[in-house]
Chains A and B, each alone.
Chain A
Amino acid sequence: MFTRRSDLPLDKDALSRFLPWLIAFMVFLAVLALAGMLVLNSTAERWDQGVSGTLTIQIIPAANPEDDNGRLQKVLAILNRTPEIDHYETLSDDKLLRLLEPWLGAQAGTHDLPLPRLIDVELKADSKLDGETLSRRLAAEVPGASVDDHRVWLSRLVRLIQTVQGLASMVLVFIAFATVGTVVFTTRTGLAIHRSAIEVLHLIGAQDSYVAGQFSSRALILGLKGGIIGLLLAGPTLFAIGHLARQIESSLLPTITLEPAHWAALGALPLVVALIAMMTARLTVLKTLSRML
């Protein structure tokens, strides 16, 4: 694939042989790390947006089921009187069962088990109302009603995700450094064996920019080749991971998707890496030439 003229072993220099594969490998890793980070990023964002302005009110079933409805109405009356609340929604038994499915299994029937009533409450965007205040207000009038403030555990979860995200960014930064280092080093090593050719071009009367251009365009092509291979290898890997994630996905996990902008960022990686290879080749050759008269 990389040996256009396989009749000559001389053609298979270190630059043409190793650069594309090393770049392919680094791009592969970088794509995976970047994809992971982007997924975490959008997940954390969605969770943050989706749940931080909400509370859930739980009404434990009373000993006497007939009372339950009355208690629910009392709670709703209090909610109506509370100005910080944007809107609320009482969860139907069906929805409740679906939510409980991961823990109870699909077979759990409505009648086997006294279900609590759940009310999803959405607070107004700038609301200062916290779960505890509302909880005290409710408990005073309706025993057995309690408030589950998502923000408490959610903020912990978001913090966890952010930590993982931070780690992923660090890994990404390391991979970026390693990629740059590898590309720079391989390009330089590859050019070392062309030193004599560089000198000949120089002595024939080539301007520095001409000589540098010869090598940098070659490095660009080799870098692109490697980058595209890396991307092609990373693509199926990403899809496989995405597929697995969807299989284990339950109502607990938000959907893991990449947006078009993210795909674009991943697709741009080979180009970025190829440009690094090109700039390195250019600077290396110019440096070599600057030592000549």
Chain B
Amino acid sequence: MDIDDNKPIVSFENVGLRYGLGPEVLQDVTFSLAPGSFHFLVGESGAGKSSLLKLIYLALKPSRGLISLFGRDIATTPRRELPAMRRRVGVVFQEFRLLNHLSAFDNVALPLRVAGAKKSDIQKHVVELLSWVGLKDHLDARPPTLSGGQQQRVSIARAVIARPRVLLADEPTGNIDDRMGLRLMHLFEELNKLGTTVVIATHNSRLVERMGHPKMLLDEGWLEIVGGRAPGESQAPAHKKEFSETVLADTFSDVDDDAPGAPPDFEKLI
């Protein structure tokens, strides 16, 4: 799929969403995300953050308005072409949504399998990435046997394994402490530096203020973009580090278990 780096990667025009015959939970939402941008999606619980993300990852159809992803109007894209678009969007679901009957390895391997990647590549990259998030010793563990934090890391690994162009995370810091939350944010920033467009829904305002990225503010279905830098400007935060062992070690060093391995070679994937 060709992606024009100058066109917005996601754009909403007057998007409205209602569930069934209920009230509009999103009203006239209009915004666009430049490739490589980093946004926080903030708002009270029930403001419509999850709903907005679902529209972006093509889980829902808007009731009205226009959504385009990678420059293509979703409404006119044939259904059979949507899976390929979804594969370019990595999602960290609010409840992780790991498949309990599959091992950690198989959960993370899913996006690659679905995309038809080679078996040897899958083996290599999944082991790499799981080692990297400190789960080298849990490759065969089923999600229910893992702690909440470990499950979260599996779900993040699954979201990024296929090197998505867009990474969406729905309250990824919901059930971890601030320090761990901050580390997670740094991880997302590293991915962002590699060109991934990132949107993180959260209602942890302290975290948002510390990071200094633009905010998409949702209030009772209305969206407003505030703060941040002008489009085109570098999104890189002050502390500049390579996407390297240091960052990874920093991110998950004292989490538990195994020492982090080398960073996965994202460029080789897909």
Contacts and interface: CB of A to CB of B under 8 A. Distances in A.
Listed residue (A8, A197, A200) with the most chain B CB atoms within 10 angstroms of its CB: A200
Contacts of B110: 201, 204
B60 interface: yes
B86 A10 contact: no
Interface residues of B, number: 28
Interface string B89-114: 10100000101110000000011001
Contact of B84 (A199, A200, A205): A205
B99 A205 contact: no
A174 to B, nearest CB: 36
A170 to B, nearest CB: 41
A292 B59 CA distance: 7
Interface string A1-26: 00001001011010000000000000
Contact of A203 (B59, B84, B88, B142): B59
Contact of A205 (B60, B83, B100, B145): B83
Interface in B62-94: 79-80, 82-89, 91
Interface string A263-293: 0000000000000000000000000000011
A202 B97 CA distance: 12
Nearest to A207: B83
Contacts of A206: 83, 114
A200 B91 CA distance: 10
A210 interface: yes
B57 interface: yes
Dominant SS at the A interface?
helix
Contacts of A202: 83, 86
Nearest to A10: B100
A107 interface: no
A293 B61 contact: yes
A64 interface: no
A49 interface: no
Contacts of B86: 202-205
A247 interface: no
B115 interface: yes
Nearest to B55: A293
Interface in A172-226: 196-197, 199-207, 210
B144 interface: yes
A15 to B, nearest CB: 11
Nearest to B103: A5
B82 A8 contact: no
A122 B161 CA distance: 84
Interface of B: 57-61, 79-80, 82-89, 91, 97, 99-101, 110-111, 114-115, 142, 144-145, 158
Given A13-B101, A207-B114, 4 more contacts: A10-B100, A203-B58, A205-B84, A205-B86
21 contacts: A8-B101, A8-B145, A10-B101, A11-B101, A201-B114, A202-B83, A202-B86, A203-B58, A203-B86, A203-B91, A204-B86, A204-B110, A204-B111, A205-B84, A205-B85, A205-B88, A205-B111, A205-B115, A207-B80, A207-B83, A293-B59
Task: Give the top 7 A-B pairs by smallest Cβ distance, nearest first.
Answer: A205-B87, A205-B86, A206-B114, A205-B83, A10-B100, A207-B83, A200-B97
Interface of A: 5, 8, 10-11, 13, 196-197, 199-207, 210, 292-293
